Amino acid sequence: MSFTSTLTRLTLGASLALGAFGSVQAANEDVKMGFIVKKPEQAWFINEQRAATELGEEMGFEVVRLAGEDGQQVLSAIDNLNSQGAQGFVICPPDVRLGPAIMNRANQYGMKVVTVDDRFVGSDGEPIEEVPHLGMSGYKIGQQVGEAIAAEMEARGWDPQEVAALRITNYELPTAKERTDGATDALLSWGFPEANILDAPQQNTDTSSAFSAASPVISKNGDFEHWVIYALNEESVLGGVRASEQYGLKAEDVIGVGINGSGAAFAEFSRENPTGFHGTVAVSSTMHGRQTAEDLYAWITEGEQPPANTETSGTLMTRDNWQEVRAELGL
């Protein structure tokens, strides 16, 4: 074969390769994904969506931020994404039992789905394994909460027999039950009396619903001078703390420990005077947003499906160390 023929072949091959690369690059630039959250006004979800959007700007894909506060709104959001040409979405569902309905709609449009924070469950109540998920180990995070409360009770010299534990619950949400179960088990292992654990079922997962749930429980159990408070998140714990304040309990008589590490906790730690909100087990919502968006992007562009379940751990954040922990976790 002549040198000219060989050169022509090499040039043609390079052109085809460059053309193929250009097509892949163009395809990547056209990637669009949704990021649907159940509580778009909460700092945790604001951080998640912002982190995903910033990653998209860095890597060259678009993130459409949407709210999905109930089943109908989620399905409308998926329809919206389809009309915009999105190839998939990350979602924290308003109800994990909506998983089959959400996946049915997503499959109709050929969309890839990754769940964050709360994991889909099927009609049998078991996790839908084929949908990749990233979230906390609810039980382990809960154990950290219980251990932090026990350590602080010990530091204050409290007799557990004279302490009431306000457990603000939402058993409709499996993640919430895992967290409060973990905290309860840690307290019981430490020696806290089970009879002193008082339930306050809340209708939602925010501060106002927790306040409404906690108030009558505290009112009916005024004989206790010391209280500890735990729940599925820091907003709910703050609701319990506000209720304790309403009934005249002083900050030094209350130990509330939440979960997340968001603006709600930062605002509380920034107050001039300490409150009964002792701390929170902080998890990086920024990392959750970036990682799930990156995983979905790789799945869309490279066909690389993320792991079935990735669990993250937490760090205790208190008034004394919150600035350092915030910087370390990128919150």
* Domain membership flag for residue 90: yes
Exposure string (b/e) for 257-291, b if CB count within 10 Å is 16 or more?
bbbbbbbbbbebbeeeeebbbbbbbbbbbbbbbbb
Task: Please say if the pLDDT value at position 331 is more than 90.
Answer: no
Can you tell me the distance from the alpha carbon of 202 to that of 222, in angstroms, rounded to the nearest whole number?
20
On whether both 246 and 178 belong to a single domain, the answer is yes
Q: Scanning the structure block, which residue is given the tokens 């982190």?
A: 51
Q: What is the structure's pLDDT at 42?
A: 86
Task: Please say if the pLDDT value at position 153 is more than 90.
Answer: yes
* Domain membership flag for residue 325: no
Q: Which amino acid is at 319?
A: R
Can you tell me the distance from the alpha carbon of 175 to that of 155, in angstroms, rounded to the nearest whole number?
30
Predicted confidence (pLDDT) per residue in 288-299, tens digit: 999 999 999 999
* Domain membership flag for residue 330: no
What token pair was written down for 298? 């790789």
What token pair was written down for 66? 């949407």
Can you tell me the distance from the alpha carbon of 43 to that of 233, in angstroms, rounded to the nearest whole number?
12
Predicted confidence (pLDDT) per residue in 263-313, tens digit: 889 999 999 999 999 999 998 889 999 999 999 999 999 999 999 999 988
Q: What is the structure's pLDDT at 29?
A: 55
Strands (E) across 81-196 are located at 88-91, 112-116, 133-136, 163-169
* Domain membership flag for residue 19: no
Residue 37 three-state SS: strand
On whether both 84 and 217 belong to a single domain, the answer is no
What token pair was written down for 129? 């394994």
The residue range of the domain holding 270 is 138-282
| Percentage with pLDDT > 90 across the chain | 81
| Prediction pTM value | 0.69
On whether both 195 and 301 belong to a single domain, the answer is no
* Domain membership flag for residue 9: no
Mean pLDDT across the chain, nearest whole number? 90
Q: What is the structure's pLDDT at 19?
A: 36
For 109-151, give the DSSP string. Answer: TT-EEEEESS--B-TTSSB-TTS-EEEE-HHHHHHHHHHHHHH
On whether both 127 and 197 belong to a single domain, the answer is no
Q: What is the structure's pLDDT at 172?
A: 84
* Domain membership flag for residue 176: yes
* Domain membership flag for residue 318: no
On whether both 277 and 149 belong to a single domain, the answer is yes
Per-residue pLDDT, averaged over 168-182, amounts to 91
Kindly report the CATH number assigned to the domain that includes residue 225: 3.40.50.2300
Per-residue pLDDT, averaged over 228-247, amounts to 97
On whether both 273 and 186 belong to a single domain, the answer is yes
* Domain membership flag for residue 51: yes
Task: Please say if the pLDDT value at position 18 is more than 60.
Answer: no
Radius of gyration of the CA atoms of the chain, in A: 24
Per-residue pLDDT, averaged over 174-181, amounts to 91
Last residue of a domain, one of 240, 264, 282: 282
Task: Count CB atoms within 10 A of the CB of residue 79.
Answer: 13
Q: What is the structure's pLDDT at 44?
A: 85
Q: What is the structure's pLDDT at 14?
A: 37
Per-residue pLDDT, averaged over 123-140, amounts to 93
| Percentage with pLDDT > 70 across the chain | 91
Per-residue pLDDT, averaged over 48-54, amounts to 97
What is the number of domains present in the chain? 2
On whether both 249 and 118 belong to a single domain, the answer is no
On whether both 126 and 206 belong to a single domain, the answer is no
Task: Please say if the pLDDT value at position 6 is more than 80.
Answer: no
